[in-house]
Amino acid sequence: MARAAEAAGATVRAASRATGFDWTDRSTWERALRGADAAYLAHPVDVGAPGTAEAVGELARMAVGLGVRRLVLLSARGEDRALPTEEALRASGAEWTVVRAAWFAQNFSEGPLADELRRGELVFPAGEVAEPFVDVRDIAEVVVAAVGDGERYAGRTLTVTGPRLLTWREAVAEIAAATGRTLTYRPVPAHDYGEALVGFGVPAEEAAFLTGLFGTLLDGRNAHLEDGVRQVLGREPRDFSAFVAEEAAAGVWKA
């Protein structure tokens, strides 16, 4: 996101734990917001996680009080628990835009899913549900457009997806073909996956939240395309195959 904004000519102040910002520590917020014209809000766990609506609402009100005119929130498609967070943003008095995104393509190349693929098998509670995986670079460009052209996008909810539907099994097959490796996908019940997360050291409360979230988002409700990328950027979204080719060439999934 920061790179996309800088490429568009914006002066960027990154706010993360690496720079001293902490969503759970309100004393760190003012320094991140003061002097900014606009801000992009992305919660590190999930926009529907417990306490997120309250935190986003409070930060948004602080931002307005400090003269930040425009706020853009990263949200999720089809997640009812995200709606209170979106409403908290709308009620803040800021000029707002909500960007609802499909499942990130980069979830396959970073974090636990990438680790599993490097070991040869992806275990995940997605069944055979299809999802239009979206490249995070497309999300970033849409957010930059929303931040930079508030008059055009203020008060709007934009939904961004990739250009085609893929099941997790089909996604793994594309990665296998690009890498020349034998990779498999094994669907498991959400409850079993939650227990595995706890075994990997994820706090039980967070694992329970994620298990419930996956059970909701992976029930087929999001198995359709949206045209937010085309509306905002005037082009087709990046295809999953292009993402896979780039990451395979970089050796991301080498054993």
Q: In percent, how much of the chain has pLDDT > 90?
A: 75
Tell me the per-residue pLDDT of 99-153, one tens digit each, with 9 for 90 and over. Answer: 999 999 999 999 889 999 999 999 999 999 999 999 999 999 999 999 988 789 9
In CATH, what number does 2-249 get? 3.40.50.720
pLDDT exceeds cutoff 80 at 50: yes
Q: Nearest Cα to 149, choosing from 74, 231, 87? A: 231
Secondary element (H or E) of residue 97: strand 95-101
Burial of 195 (0-12, 13-18, 19+ CB in 10 A): middle
pTM of the model: 0.93
3-state secondary structure at position 205? helix
Looking at every residue in the chain, the average pLDDT score rounds to: 94
Separation of alpha carbons 190 and 170, rounded Å: 20
Q: Give the start-to-end residue ranges of the domains of the chain.
A: 2-249
Q: Nearest Cα to 79, choosing from 223, 222, 227, 225? A: 222
pLDDT at residue number 150: 73
pLDDT at residue number 56: 96
20-25 long-range CB contacts below 8 Å, 24 or more apart? 23/55, 24/55
pLDDT at residue number 85: 96
Tell me the per-residue pLDDT of 63-97, one tens digit each, with 9 for 90 and over. Answer: 999 999 999 999 999 999 999 999 999 999 999 99
Q: Nearest Cα to 102, choosing from 215, 212, 187, 226? A: 226
